[in-house]
Structure 1
């Protein structure tokens, strides 16, 4: 079984991880800032620092993170100069994308952030449809746009060639700040949750990242996948109310808690629409105490109400993301988190220790009992583990996350 990690943030903003193959909580040493939220997937971990900046930690692997930039050089034949960059007013740009509609000069490409580096300079792609080209990579056609061929003919009035350049993501196993120009938002984030890796296998490493701002708005991060771990941009998602916390599972489950203590469930999530299409309201399990926290997995939803009681949602699945009813569970927690295989973790409201839900199986997803995790932090002796665990305020299983203030 592959090694997985339990991530945690203590009340001082320090990030720790506990490996299934380890015997202690290891502090993340390269983090020079304090964190208030973390959320993890198999290939990375996202976090909100106490200064409200967004950070990303990509786990190193044997497979490098590389991205191919491309542009096309276009030329037209004229009797005076032969093939040249002098194009007709109705033609495409001299440097363009494959469609010819977007201007893409070589010097217009910039690295997305300081976490990237160029592997080399621009070079001409001298292959066309699996065969080598002639004359320095040029392909020919009668006019723009048309079907191109690698052979020049008597009626070849235009030509183009494909230029390539690769950039590599270099900020491995370290917290890298997402540049402010990529997160120009009206108010900072207060909660964050990633998942969605089971929605679609393509593109490889695709993730869904959801965030909640201080004003109760919800945002979705577009374009996260293996070759683009930072994603492209944030898109605001319309809401029926103000949200305080959100949770995203590995599949199509996304639940959020409203300020009033009710839940909203995202509908319409699928391969072609990872951020879904609408919200459905679900009432709090307690008429006297509204919800303060929710966490979802592949087929489960757990919640905590203001009186620290823990609740399990019956009948949840892809066809019925809202489920059918609440069951009150024994124990009082500040927060709970669903991890791999719908396993459950929580932080006790009594001693702030991290607990594990025993007895969770595919046939009994609610489990049987809570058991404390009694392991020391790095540099502490085992007999001091109980006091050290009291100071945790956020836990996150690698591939799933839970966050609390």
Structure 2
């Protein structure tokens, strides 16, 4: 069985992890940073720091995180110069993407953040559809766009070649700040949850990251997968009310708590739509007592109400994410969470036994 970690934040903002292969809590390396929340997946841990920025801690592994950048050089033949960069006004850019519609000169490629580094310089790809080309990597066609071939023919009027460059993610086993990459960011985040890694196998390492802002808005982080662990940008998700806390499971379950104490369930989450399509409102487990916290797993949902009562949602699955009813459980808790294999972890209301006074997430 692979080693898994329990992540936690204490009241002083210090982050700890507890391994299934260990016996005690270990404090994370960046002792100068203070965190409010953490949310863990198998390959990484996300956190909201006290400076209101989002940070990512990618666990080092034998498989490096590399990304391939590519651009295409396009040329046209003319009787005076032969093949040259002198293209027709109706042609594509001299440097473009594979479609020819987007201008992509080499110097336009920038590293996404300080967490990346270039492995080397640009080089021409001398392979075409799995077969080697002539030196230089050119492929030929009658015109743009057309079917290309690695062999030059008498009517080959245009040619192109692909240039490649690789960048590597270097910020392993440390907290790296996520760049905003947006001109207007939402107000500071107050809660964060990641999951969705079991929705589909491709692209590899895909994650769903949900966040709640202080104004009660919900945001979804687009484009998180193995070759792009930071994701691309935040997208606001419309809501039926103001949210205070959110939780998503390894598959397609996403639940959130509204300010009024009701809960909402995300419908339509799937392989082709990881952020879902709509919300359904679910009443609080206890009449007159609002919910304050929710935690979901593969096929389970747990909730806490303001009187610290613990509730279990019956009948929850991928076909019925809302479930069928609430069941009151024994005990009073201030926090509950669901980890791998739907294992439940909670902090007692009386003596806070189990862990320090924290918010935590299982990896």
Cα deviation for residue 183 of structure 1 reads 8.1
SS in 2 for 1:341: helix
For 1:6 and 1:294, locate their aligned partners in 2 and report how far apart those are by CA, in whole Å.
18
**Equivalent residue for 2:125?**
125
**Equivalent residue for 1:193?**
193
Q: CA contact under 8 A between 2:180 and 2:233: conserved in structure 1?
A: no
TM-score with structure 1 setting the length: 0.88
1:393 aligns to 2:349 (yes or no): no
Q: CA contact under 8 A between 1:3 and 1:20: conserved in structure 2?
A: yes
Q: CA contact under 8 A between 2:206 and 2:224: conserved in structure 1?
A: yes
For 1:181 and 1:254, locate their aligned partners in 2 and report how far apart those are by CA, in whole Å.
25
**Equivalent residue for 1:296?**
296
Cα deviation for residue 349 of structure 1 reads 1.9
TM-score with structure 2 setting the length: 0.98
Gaps (5+ residues) in structure 2? none
SS in 2 for 1:99: coil
SS in 2 for 1:102: coil
SS in 2 for 1:313: strand
Cα deviation for residue 6 of structure 1 reads 0.7
For 2:248 and 2:336, locate their aligned partners in 1 and report how far apart those are by CA, in whole Å.
13
**Equivalent residue for 2:103?**
103
For 1:261 and 1:285, locate their aligned partners in 2 and report how far apart those are by CA, in whole Å.
9
CA deviations over 1:232-270 (Å, ceiling 9, x no partner)? 111111111110000000011000000000011000011
**Equivalent residue for 1:242?**
242
The residue correspondences of 1:266-345 to structure 2 (distance < 5 A) are: 266-345=266-345
Q: CA contact under 8 A between 2:187 and 2:213: conserved in structure 1?
A: yes
Cα deviation for residue 396 of structure 1 reads 1.3
Larger mean CA deviation between 76-85 and 259-268 belongs to 76-85
Q: CA contact under 8 A between 2:199 and 2:270: conserved in structure 1?
A: yes
Q: CA contact under 8 A between 1:212 and 1:218: conserved in structure 2?
A: yes
**Equivalent residue for 1:383?**
none
**Equivalent residue for 1:83?**
83
SS in 2 for 1:246: strand
**Equivalent residue for 2:175?**
175
Cα deviation for residue 351 of structure 1 reads 2.0
Cα deviation for residue 184 of structure 1 reads 4.0
CA deviations over 1:2-52 (Å, ceiling 9, x no partner)? 111111100000000111111110000224210000000000000000111
For 1:74 and 1:31, locate their aligned partners in 2 and report how far apart those are by CA, in whole Å.
51
**Equivalent residue for 1:20?**
20
**Equivalent residue for 1:369?**
none
The residue correspondences of 1:41-56 to structure 2 (distance < 5 A) are: 41-56=41-56
What is the number of equivalent residue pairs in this alignment?
A: 363
Q: CA contact under 8 A between 2:181 and 2:233: conserved in structure 1?
A: no
Question: RMSD of the TM alignment (CA)?
Answer: 1.0
For 1:164 and 1:198, locate their aligned partners in 2 and report how far apart those are by CA, in whole Å.
31
Closer, same or farther: CA 269–168 of 1 in aligned 2, 3 Å: same
Q: CA contact under 8 A between 1:31 and 1:175: conserved in structure 2?
A: no
**Equivalent residue for 2:147?**
147
For 1:83 and 1:135, locate their aligned partners in 2 and report how far apart those are by CA, in whole Å.
15
Cα deviation for residue 329 of structure 1 reads 0.6
